[in-house]
């Protein structure tokens, strides 16, 4: 088995995208802290920080043992604020408070999903991008890279865009890291097509 095959097994969608998506679903469906009517953004931020902590406990398989780590909860509250500021701009406090209290635009569940999306992106970056670039950077020279590109074409050339394969796989050679980062998404789409 080659290093490329090992990498592709490691970043397979069942071990990355699908795994983390199922964990996020588990988190959103198992968060059972009673939801109050939020009087102000601070109360909402506390609640969302608690959700993010719950999510991290599930993703890290920590269980409930780390539930009341005050320093981490404070960090999570700030993290949530950053996420919503990026989504809603300067009026994020009013917008998110209105969403949570009225249920409009998906309500509190939509806010959970926005946290989930951000966390998912971070997790996928570390579980896909990290191993891909460790693999690329471990190649000794261009000959190793050419060999890996040829092997990848043998395995997946039939589903790659033809423009990547023009000119003795020149584009694929130049964009090999990005192609490998996209590999789990491509395979996932192919599997979904197969199920349809």
Q: What is the pLDDT of residues 137-163, one digit of tens each?
A: 999 899 999 999 999 999 999 888 888
Contact 115, 48 (CB under 8 A): yes
CA–CA dist 38, 107 (Å, integer) = 12
DSSP label of 2? -
Which tokens in the block code for residue 175? 């964009």
The pTM of the full predicted model, rounded to 2 decimals, is 0.78
Residues 109-118 pLDDT 10s = 999 999 999 9
pLDDT band at 136 (very low <50, low <70, confident <90, very high): very high
E strand spans, the chain: none
Kindly state the DSSP code that residue 138 receives in the 8-state scheme.
T
Name residues whose C-beta falls within 8 Å of residue 70's C-beta, 6 or more positions apart in sequence. none
Report the alpha-carbon distance of residue 196 to residue 30 in Å, rounded. 30
């Amino acid at each position: 088995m080659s290093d490329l095959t090992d990498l592709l097994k490691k970043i397979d969608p069942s071990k990355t995208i699908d795994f983390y998506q199922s964990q996020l679903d588990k988190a959103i469906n198992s968060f059972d802290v009673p939801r109050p009517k939020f009087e102000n953004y601070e109360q909402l931020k506390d609640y969302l920080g608690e959700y993010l902590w719950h999510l991290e406990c599930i993703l890290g398989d920590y269980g409930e043992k780390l539930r009341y780590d005050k320093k981490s909860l404070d960090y999570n509250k700030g993290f949530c604020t950053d996420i919503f500021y990026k989504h809603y701009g300067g009026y994020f406090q009013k917008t998110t408070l209105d969403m949570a209290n009225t249920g409009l635009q998906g309500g509190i569940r939509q806010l959970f999903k926005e946290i989930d999306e951000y966390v998912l992106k971070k997790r996928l970056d570390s579980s896909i991008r990290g191993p891909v670039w460790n693999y690329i950077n471990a190649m000794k020279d261009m000959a190793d890279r050419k060999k890996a590109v040829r092997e990848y074409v043998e395995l997946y050339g039939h589903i790659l865009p033809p423009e990547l394969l023009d000119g003795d796989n020149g584009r694929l050679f130049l964009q090999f890291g990005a192609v490998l980062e996209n590999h789990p998404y491509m395979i996932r789409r192919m599997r979904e097509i197969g199920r349809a």
